[in-house]
Amino acid sequence: MYINEAYLNHSRIDFKDKSRPLIVCNCGTYHLYSRPRIPTYRPKGRLDYQLLYIASGKGHFFFDQKETVIHAGQMVIYRPRECQRYEYYGVDQTEVYWVHFTGGDVKNILRKYGIKDDLRTFYVGTSLEYQRLFKQMIQELQMCREDYEEILALILRELLINVHRQLLTDTNTSHNYLEKEIELSAKFFDENYNTEINIAEYAASKNMSTCWFIRNFKQVMGTTPMQYILSLRITNAQSLLESTDYNITEISQIIGYDNPLYFSRIFKKQKGVSPSEYRRIIRGNSSLSK
C-alpha cells in the first residue's frame, strides 16, 4: 500500500475556520495493493468539507444506509457534520485522492463551480490533471513555503474549475442529445401526423420512458407530443378547407381521422367554428376582397 498525506500546521485535528473564504486543511492519497480493506466511519462527520476522487479502482460509499459503488473518474463530497462511511478493498487496486477544506465562503464557492447543495457524487473523468493538482496540494502542505496557504486555496480553486468545466460539458452533451432526439421525433410527427401514432410505443422504440419523452418534448417544443400532432392536423385541415374542394369526410380522412363527426368536434374546439363554417367564412372573405 502506498500512502502520502499532509496536514495544515501538522495537525490531524479537524476544525472550522471562517477567517478566510477558503482554507485547505489536509490532503492525501493512497493506493491499495496488498492491504485487504480500509474502512472509514465517522458517524458525526467532521467540522470541515471533504472532497474525494477515485482515480482507479472503486470505493464503496454508504448514503442513508444504502451502499453506492463509486467508480474511477467519480468524486464524492462530504459536508460538515455529515455522516461519513466508506471503504476500499485491495482486490480493487483502488487509488484515491482527498482534500479537506473549510472557510467562510465555501458554500458559495461550491455553488459557483456547479456543485449544488444536494450533490453528493458526480463524474469528472479519469484525468491525470486532477491527480497533478492533488499532488501539488500535498507537496505545498509538506514544504510549507512562503504563502503556501494562499497557494493551496488557489490550487483547490483550479481543481474546482476543472470539475465545473467537466460538469458543464456533461450537461451540454446531455442537452445536445436531448435536442437531437426531440428534433427527430418532431420530424417523424411532421411526416406521419395523419397516421395513428402511439406515443408510448414511439418512446419505447427510442429506448425512452413515456414520461421522460413527454416531459422533455414539452420542455423543448413548448407543447406535448399529442398537442403537437393535433396542431399539425388542424393546421393542415385549415389549408385543405381553404384551397381545395374536398368535402369534410375526405379532409377528415386525409389528416388522420376516420370519423368526420369526431374531426368536426375537434376542429370546432380548436378554432371556435365547425369545418364547414370555417370554409364559408374564409371563402366569403376571399370573395369580398376581390
Q: Which domains does the chain have, with CATH numbers?
A: 2-170 (2.60.120.280), 193-290 (1.10.10.60)
Mean pLDDT on 2-20: 93
| Digit-coded pLDDT (tens) for 168-185 | 887 666 667 777 888 899
Residues 6+ apart with CB under 8 A from 72: 54, 55, 56, 57, 58, 126
CA proximity to 70, closest of 48, 40, 43, 100? 40
**9-21: average pLDDT:** 94
Q: How many CA atoms lie within 13 A of 29 on its CB side?
A: 20
**Cα separation, 221 vs 169, whole angstroms:** 23
Provide the Cα torsion 231, 234, 235, 239; round to 10°.
170
d(CA 168, CA 173): 8
| pLDDT tens, position by position, 209-246 | 899 899 989 888 888 999 999 999 999 999 999 989 99
pLDDT band at 289 (very low <50, low <70, confident <90, very high): very low
Average pLDDT taken over every residue of the chain: 91
> The pTM is what?
0.63
Give the cell for residue 108.
458559495
CA quadruple 210, 215, 219, 224: dihedral, nearest 10: 70
pLDDT band at 286 (very low <50, low <70, confident <90, very high): low
Q: For the residues of 217-266, what is the DSSP string, one character each?
A: HHHHHSS-HHHHHHHHHHHHHHHHHHH----HHHHHHHTT-S-HHHHHHH
- Beta strand 49-56 pairing with 58-63: unpaired
pLDDT at 258 over 80: yes
